[in-house]
Amino acid sequence: MPRAETLLVVAQRLGVTKEYLLTGQSGVQDPATSASTEELSLEDLIRAIAAKGFEVSIRPKSPS
């Protein structure tokens, strides 16, 4: 069994809960990842995606 401190550090780095690492069942780490997409604003969705290591950019549609 891993030490509690090690488990917590690994979970934080992966963006999951330590319970998820132990059980494989989804746990809640922060409100942005626990809310459904209907409840999140566009800004919150962008922040959540960026927090997972992705680059997010939005630009207007080019005129047809």
The C-alpha atoms of residue 47 and residue 30 are separated, in whole angstroms, by 12
Distance CA 22, CA 1 (A): 9
pLDDT in tens, 6-64: 888 888 888 888 888 888 876 555 554 554 545 768 888 888 888 888 898 988 988 87
Q: Is residue 61 part of a domain?
A: no
pLDDT of 17 reads 85
- Number of structural domains (the chain) is 1
Confidence bin at 1 (pLDDT 50/70/90): low
b/e 27-55 (16+ beta carbons within 10 angstroms → b): bebeeebeeeeeebeeeeeeebeeeeeee
Q: How many CB atoms lie within 10 A of CB 26?
A: 12
CB count, 10 Å around CB of 17? 20
Q: Which domain holds residue 27?
A: 4-51
Residue 33: inside a domain, yes or no? yes
pLDDT for 23: 84
pTM above 0.85, yes or no: no
> Does residue 40 sit within a domain?
yes
